[in-house]
Structure 1
Amino acid sequence: MSGHDGFVLRAPWYVRERQPAFGLRDRRALRPQIQMYNNAQFVKNTLMRDPRDSLKASQDDFWSYPVPNTPSLSAKGRERLATSRLLHTKLRKLYQPTHERFYAVVVEVFCDAPGLPRAGSHTDIEVRMVMRRQHTSVTGQRKPVRRLARNLLVEMAKSEDISFDADQEPDADIRDVWWADAAWHRRFAEDNADLLAEVGGHTDAQAWMVDGAGSGQWRTLGTPPGPDRSPDAEEDFPLWRLPPREEDCAQARTRSLWFGIIPTFSGAHWVDGDKKVQPKLDDHGIYELQCFVRQPAPRGQEGCPPKIWWGEPSEPFRLAAPFDPDGTKNHVVSITLPDLRRLAAHAGQPQGPGGARMITPPQSQFVFNPFNGIPKSGTGKIGGGGGICTFAFELFFMVAFFLFLMFLPIVIFAFQLWWLLALRFCIPPSISFSVMAAFFAQGKLLAAAEADAEFSMKFDAAFGTESKVLADTDRSPGWAKQLDDVKAPLSGVKVFSNDAALTGAMVAANDPADAVKPAPPPVETKPADPLCASP
Structure 2
Amino acid sequence: MPQATSAVPRDGQHPLALRTPWYQCERLNIDRFHPGARAPYIQQYDTTDVAERVVADPRNSLTIPSERRLFQPSRCRFHAVVIEVFCDHEGLPRPNPADEFTVSFAVRRHRELGEQSWMVDGLGGQGWVDVDSDGHPLPDRPITPEEQLDLNDALTEVTVLMWRVPINSALCDAARTRSLWFGLVPTWSRDYGTPFDESIPVKGSVGQHQYDVDSTYEIVCRAMRPGPGRCPPDMYWSGPSDPYLLASLCDEATDAPAPETKPPDPLCSEGQQ
Instruction: Give the structure-2-normalised TM-score.
Output: 0.80
In the alignment, which of 175, 185, 190 is matched to residue 267 of structure 1? 190
**Structure 2 residue 83 is matched with structure 1 residue 107:** yes
The alignment's C-alpha RMSD in Å is 2.6
In the alignment, which of 283, 288, 299 is matched to residue 218 of structure 2? 288
**Structure 2 residue 47 is matched with structure 1 residue 39:** yes
Whole-angstrom CA distance in 2 between matches of 1:287 and 1:123:
32
Whole-angstrom CA distance in 2 between matches of 1:124 and 1:279:
36
Greater RCO, 1 or 2 (C-alpha within 8 Å, sep 6+): 2
Report the secondary structure of 1:98's partner residue: helix
Structure with the larger helix share: 1
Which residue does the alignment assign to 2:100? 124
1:530 Cα offset (Å) = 1.6
Report the secondary structure of 2:211's partner residue: coil
**Structure 2 residue 205 is matched with structure 1 residue 205:** no
**Contact 1:120 1:255 survives alignment (8 Å):** no
Counterpart amino acid of residue 314 in structure 1 = S
Report the secondary structure of 1:290's partner residue: strand
Q: 1:275 to 1:242 in 2, by over 3 A?
A: closer
Whole-angstrom CA distance in 1 between matches of 2:204 and 2:91:
51
Whole-angstrom CA distance in 2 between matches of 1:296 and 1:212:
22
Which sits farther off after the overlay, 277-286 or 108-117?
277-286
**Contact 1:248 1:532 survives alignment (8 Å):** no
Instruction: Give the structure-1-normalised TM-score.
Output: 0.42
User: Which deviations, in whole Å up to 9, do the C-alpha atoms of 1:373-418 show, x marking residues without a partner?
Assistant: xxxxxxxxxxxxxxxxxxxxxxxxxxxxxxxxxxxxxxxxxxxxxx
Q: 1:43 to 1:247 in 2, by over 3 A?
A: closer
Whole-angstrom CA distance in 1 between matches of 2:169 and 2:184:
24
Whole-angstrom CA distance in 1 between matches of 2:36 and 2:265:
19
**Structure 2 residue 228 is matched with structure 1 residue 305:** no
Which residue does the alignment assign to 1:9? 18
**Contact 1:8 1:309 survives alignment (8 Å):** yes
Counterpart amino acid of residue 215 in structure 2 = G
User: Which deviations, in whole Å up to 9, do the C-alpha atoms of 1:93-149 show, x marking residues without a partner?
Assistant: 11111111111100000000100001252440111111111112xxxxxxxxxxxxx
Which residue does the alignment assign to 2:56? 49
1:233 Cα offset (Å) = 0.9
Moved over 6 A (4+): none
In the alignment, which of 260, 263, 270 is matched to residue 527 of structure 1? 263
1:534 Cα offset (Å) = 7.6
Counterpart amino acid of residue 215 in structure 1 = G
**Contact 2:80 2:185 survives alignment (8 Å):** yes
Report the secondary structure of 1:23's partner residue: coil
1:288 Cα offset (Å) = 0.8
Which residue does the alignment assign to 1:315? 242
Whole-angstrom CA distance in 1 between matches of 2:155 and 2:170:
45
Counterpart amino acid of residue 57 in structure 1 = I
**Contact 2:129 2:205 survives alignment (8 Å):** no
Report the secondary structure of 2:193's partner residue: strand
Which residue does the alignment assign to 2:138? 223
**Contact 1:4 1:113 survives alignment (8 Å):** no
In the alignment, which of 70, 78, 95 is matched to residue 94 of structure 1? 70
Counterpart amino acid of residue 310 in structure 1 = W
**Identity in percent:** 37
Q: 1:53 to 1:275 in 2, by over 3 A?
A: closer
Whole-angstrom CA distance in 2 between matches of 1:284 and 1:246:
38
User: Which deviations, in whole Å up to 9, do the C-alpha atoms of 1:471-511 show, x marking residues without a partner?
Assistant: xxxxxxxxxxxxxxxxxxxxxxxxxxxxxxxxxxxxxxxxx
User: Which deviations, in whole Å up to 9, do the C-alpha atoms of 1:320-352 show, x marking residues without a partner?
Assistant: 11112x43x5xxxxxxxxxxxxxxxxxxxxxxx
Whole-angstrom CA distance in 1 between matches of 2:140 and 2:60:
42
Contiguous gaps of at least 5 residues in structure 1: 63-91, 137-202, 330-517
Q: 1:306 to 1:97 in 2, by over 3 A?
A: same
**Structure 2 residue 29 is matched with structure 1 residue 29:** no
Whole-angstrom CA distance in 2 between matches of 1:118 and 1:111:
6
* Equivalent residue runs for 1:227-376 within 5 Å: 231-245=154-168, 248-271=171-194, 277-297=207-227, 301-324=228-251, 326-327=252-253, 329=254
Counterpart amino acid of residue 234 in structure 2 = K
Q: 1:120 to 1:527 in 2, by over 3 A?
A: farther
Report the secondary structure of 2:119's partner residue: strand
Q: 1:304 to 1:522 in 2, by over 3 A?
A: same
Q: Which has the larger radius of gyration?
A: 1
**Contact 2:57 2:171 survives alignment (8 Å):** no
